[in-house]
Structure 1
Amino acid sequence: MKELLDLGKSILVAIIAAFLIITFVFETVSVDGHSMDPTLNNKDRLIVEKVSYYFRAPKPGDIVVIKYPANPKEKFIKRVVAVGGDKVKIENGKLYVNDVAKNEPYILEPMVTGDFNEVTVPNNTVFVLGDNRNNSRDSRFSDVGFVNYKLVVGRAAFRIYPFSRFGTLKSAHK
């Protein structure tokens, strides 16, 4: 009987530890779709770390997992391109942040989806875009818009599958 009680306690401690790690430290996610091609591909498995954003805000270039503002049960993976106070616009398929054209070697192809009038990103929010700009539901759309920090789950830090692309994910910081 004592052995069963000890086993039950061990299982309970393991469940609590797993819950705390998944809630506060990291989780795994699967990429669903092609909005982050070529950086991330459909069905890639990633480790998302949550700790760094307890100590600092997301930065431009970070690849983040966000809760979709229109349905927080859904998660999106996008790249932060601007943060609170930044001015963002898209003109002739080119991204400008604070009136500076951004060099974005990580995008799939030039944008053909039209211009985006200049906006100023509110404090405590980020402006996110997919790396496949012509096939991405992101901050250009009103149902996503500016993403509040509270909806940022964490930073995509590591690809665990496919094994041929196993490794850390590099942010593209300024």
Structure 2
Amino acid sequence: MSKKRKVIREWIKAAAVAILVVGFIRFFLLTPIFVDGYSMMPTLKDNERLLVNKVSYVFKEPKRFDIIVFRDEEGREYIKRIIGLPGDTVEYRDDILYINGKPYKEKYLKKYKQQLIDGGPLTEPFTLSDSIGRKTVPENHLFVLGDNRRYSKDSRHIGVISYDRVLGKASLVFSPVKDTRFVK
């Protein structure tokens, strides 16, 4: 075999291995997601791209306030923040989140609430019973909200999210490059 053919064969092997490695990472470990809309403002902005860690919940349970990506019944992808875990009661009164009767400060919303100029709340009052017709989040389900509560289609509208619909945890904004950051 000629030296030129050997070099070409080695390049083809290297390219095949690279494609397999990228494919493995893309389908089993990390996947890029495009933020389409304003429901997670100011945390995530329209047109940002982020990486979703697909293995984050293989070894541990989702945690309250994690930002997740999931698919609804029709296969549309959503990016939202976990508010209620299985067995939790969730309520909003006077723009304050109550989980199991205890008030929670949502530090990630503080700056956004200060920017409101109309005097109204960021989050309209609701209870789980109002939203999903149950007093508690069902087993193996999550109650999620967008950070831009006035303009978010979330569990108040589409119901609770089954664990098996969760694609993973939002981990890193990588585009635009100037806005690269870890997601909190």
**What band does the TM-score fall into relative to the shorter chain?**
0.7 to 0.9
Match of 1:79 in 2: 81
**Percent pairwise identity:** 37
Superposition TM-score, scaled by structure 2 size:
0.80
- Tell me: CA distance 1:134–1:165, structure 2 relative to 1, closer, same or farther (3 Å): same
Q: Which of 150, 156, 176 is the matching residue for 1:134?
A: 150
Match of 1:59 in 2: 63
Inter-partner Cα distance in structure 1 for 2:104 and 2:90: 11
* One-letter identity of the residue aligned with 1:70: E
Q: Which of 35, 39, 53 is the matching residue for 1:35?
A: 39
More strand by share: 1
Mark the runs of 5 or more structure 1 residues left unpaired by the alignment.
none
Superposition TM-score, scaled by structure 1 size:
0.85
Give the length in aligned residue pairs: 166
RMSD of aligned residue pairs (Cα, Å): 1.9
Q: Secondary structure at the match of 1:111?
A: coil
Q: Secondary structure at the match of 1:89?
A: strand
* One-letter identity of the residue aligned with 1:123: E
* One-letter identity of the residue aligned with 1:10: A
- Is 2:82–2:143's contact at 8 Å kept on the other side of the alignment? yes
Q: Secondary structure at the match of 2:13?
A: helix
* One-letter identity of the residue aligned with 2:14: S
More helix by share: 2
Match of 2:122 in 1: 111
Q: Secondary structure at the match of 1:140?
A: helix
- Is 1:95–1:101's contact at 8 Å kept on the other side of the alignment? yes
For residues 1-56 of structure 1, the C-alpha deviation after alignment (integer angstroms, 9 at most, x for no partner) is: 55544444333332222221111111111211110111111111111112221101
Q: Which of 165, 168, 173 is the matching residue for 1:151?
A: 165
Mark the runs of 5 or more structure 2 residues left unpaired by the alignment.
114-120, 130-134
- Is 1:93–1:115's contact at 8 Å kept on the other side of the alignment? no
- Tell me: CA distance 1:16–1:35, structure 2 relative to 1, closer, same or farther (3 Å): same
Larger Rg: 2
CA drift at 1:112: 4.8
Q: Secondary structure at the match of 2:68?
A: strand
